[in-house]
Chain A
């Protein structure tokens, strides 16, 4: 095989892996939008908050330490030296569920039957508020997140592919980050679990009923409020998974909240209401931007196509299929 072809395959492979990382963020958006019609602008901050909380629990950080020390003149920073990963993840999940409950009580409950734009604006407010609370609770330092997921280039893949190039060619194997392989496996497990949950459990069916028609669901006795708490909690859990993956890659810091911007073109492409759409959209965006950066980036003096090419793809797609690949078709009867 020629080195060029192998490099092309490597680019596609890495694009797919990056796409999975985007899909992890997009999934949270889709779940909430499907169930409540809310475009949750705070999903990126959810991921950040979950990752901050996880590191906080892992390292025994005292929440709101700065505030407490400032107010009472104390000097508390840590409860304990460390906590096992499993326990820290479990506690973070509990925190995210509590957060979902608080959001329902303080925000959503008061905005039932409001226009979607009002709910959207509320989530913008929520994003900023949550970012501030995260800062107060855990501080703004860059935090190292290690839950035991390996990272770095896959040596196995490198060795397995090094022989594929024509003899004598200057090639040293294909590169894929092990962290991204893990992210793919976790995303697959997540999607399958979500599908099984919504298909085969009573709560899952209730969730689908609410997603299909709020009024009809209410009329058969499904509690809209508990479904909303459930959906926000699930999307908080997904945000935690996304936060772990992204946080392992870059350290946990406040720029993590901007990963939400990576999910927007994915949603436009895949549709706001489709879980498979979020996955396929993510993969397409991932591959598209990597190919664009590597193969046409050189023709642009300013370069750095990787960040904005996804939006070009999304815009072009919007022109031809506004509802996205798998989104519900928009039909308005007069």
Chain B
């Protein structure tokens, strides 16, 4: 009798579980590789909160994407490459897209995801040459790449020097990792083109101690310092720059070195520090009003809601919006709401975030419009310069969105992607 009961119970459980799995498959799975713990958590948390709040808002306001709820399981990477790869392996089944939030993890996932047929979206980070869609079918890095970033920073310096930086000295303080090394090649090419001297100053993880680096800068007196930093490295660098009285308006960070976290510890010393950005800070956007109404006011905010409107939170919103838009486009292309990973990729490759579409999505004036095509997975290549006002504790956009040096960047992308295609024996596509 007991055995019979047990068997009936087990059968019922199996039916229930398979029913759940069936339901889960019908939903759209957007696994999140996050780092809410460890040395980089202060940056990982607001970014992840932005993602989660956006997904929750879409589920609450629109009932999901085309009626399909978004599932967003989190996997903690601690910003560690190996753990990130394990997270990918655990979550890749039925996944629409992976946002690794680390250049190191992105590099590891590119061949794996390509083989598995899963989309990787590294928003403004990762392998720059992945912008070439002819070679990197499954990887997208729109709206702007690190090489665009390097050339936009140099363009800004050029503008402030009346178009002539010959003989000037530019130092690059960078995180000694795959991420930090990305702009070196572009800057070397640009230094030959414009005649400036490039100083390379690596800082090892985590970057808590940088005294020797800044003593070198104090002695060499570069005209400008660029920074590719992350986590505590940014805070220490900005504080050190202020301490040696380096002019802050000549210190420009990449978009990952320009959040509130990076400048607040330096207090008034950080006043005037600049960074590139591809999205606006603040809460004056329709998307924020919707998140407040459908998520925060219902007590559903990710975390304590304190990061709402910060630079990295807003970037998370932007990243999530692009990922959701890709699903919407895929559903339209394939005429079904129940899209597969392969269909999702098609959607990504046909994203057209025009000014009108951005407004419809609640992102009016939040970021410049961009389009993704079969050839171009890198987007518009537009970024602006923002500057920190330590008195009001606010970032202010001080330039329009501008393009980098496409002659230099496109040539480098073509070179690097061709090399990768040859190594991996990938035939170029897109006709």
Q: Are A152 and B242 in contact (CB under 8 A)?
A: yes
Q: Are A14 and B215 in contact (CB under 8 A)?
A: yes
Instruction: For A10, list chain B residues within 8 Å (CB).
Output: 215
Q: For the complex, what is the distance from the CA of A62 to the CA of B269, rounded to whole Å?
A: 29
Q: For the complex, what is the distance from the CA of A84 to the CA of B155, rounded to whole Å?
A: 47
Q: Is the interface of A mostly helix, strand, loop or mixed?
A: helix
Instruction: For B39, list chain A residues within 8 Å (CB).
Output: 253-255, 258
Smallest Cβ distance from B315 to chain A, in angstroms? 17
Q: Are A140 and B41 in contact (CB under 8 A)?
A: yes
B373 interface hit (Cβ, 8 Å): no
Q: For the complex, what is the distance from the CA of A251 to the CA of B202, rounded to whole Å?
A: 21
Q: For the complex, what is the distance from the CA of A255 to the CA of B207, rounded to whole Å?
A: 9
Instruction: For A144, list chain B residues within 8 Å (CB).
Output: 264-265, 267
B235 interface hit (Cβ, 8 Å): yes
Q: How many residues of A contact B (CB 8 A)?
A: 44
Known contacts A250-B236, A255-B208, A294-B212; is A140 also within 8 Å of B42 by CB?
Answer: yes
- Quick one: CB contact mask for B143-178 with A, threshold 8 Å, 1 for yes? 000000000000000000000000000000000100
Known contacts A153-B244, A250-B232, A302-B176; is A294 also within 8 Å of B206 by CB?
Answer: no
Q: Are B209 and A262 in contact (CB under 8 A)?
A: yes
Known contacts A262-B209, A304-B202; is A249 also within 8 Å of B236 by CB?
Answer: yes
Interfacial residues of chain B within 259-306, with CB under 8 A of chain A in the complex = 261, 264-265, 267, 269, 299, 303-304, 306
**Closest B residue by C-beta to A305:** B212
B425 interface hit (Cβ, 8 Å): no
Interfacial residues of chain B within 351-401, with CB under 8 A of chain A in the complex = none
Instruction: For A304, list chain B residues within 8 Å (CB).
Output: 176, 202-204
Q: Are A256 and B208 in contact (CB under 8 A)?
A: yes
- From B208, B218, B243, A246 is in contact (CB under 8 Å) with B208
Instruction: For A214, list chain B residues within 8 Å (CB).
Output: none
Q: For the complex, what is the distance from the CA of A307 to the CA of B202, rounded to whole Å?
A: 11
Known contacts A11-B215, A69-B304, A306-B213; is A141 also within 8 Å of B265 by CB?
Answer: no
Q: Are B239 and A250 in contact (CB under 8 A)?
A: yes
**Closest A residue by C-beta to B204:** A307
Smallest Cβ distance from B379 to chain A, in angstroms? 30
Smallest Cβ distance from A196 to chain B, in angstroms? 31
A83 interface hit (Cβ, 8 Å): no
Q: Are B219 and A66 in contact (CB under 8 A)?
A: no
B211 interface hit (Cβ, 8 Å): yes
Q: For the complex, what is the distance from the CA of A249 to the CA of B267, rounded to whole Å?
A: 11
Q: Are B232 and A255 in contact (CB under 8 A)?
A: yes
- Quick one: CB contact mask for A35-73 with B, threshold 8 Å, 1 for yes? 000000000000000000000000000000110010001
Q: Are B211 and A18 in contact (CB under 8 A)?
A: yes
A116 interface hit (Cβ, 8 Å): no
Q: For the complex, what is the distance from the CA of A135 to the CA of B303, rounded to whole Å?
A: 13
List residues of A whose CB falls within 8 A of some B CB: 7, 10-11, 14, 18, 65-66, 69, 73, 77, 135, 139-142, 144, 146, 151-153, 175, 177, 246, 249-251, 253-256, 258-259, 262, 289-290, 293-294, 297, 302-304, 306-308
Known: A7-B219, A66-B304. 6 other contacts (CB 8 A): A139-B304, A142-B264, A146-B267, A250-B235, A262-B209, A294-B215
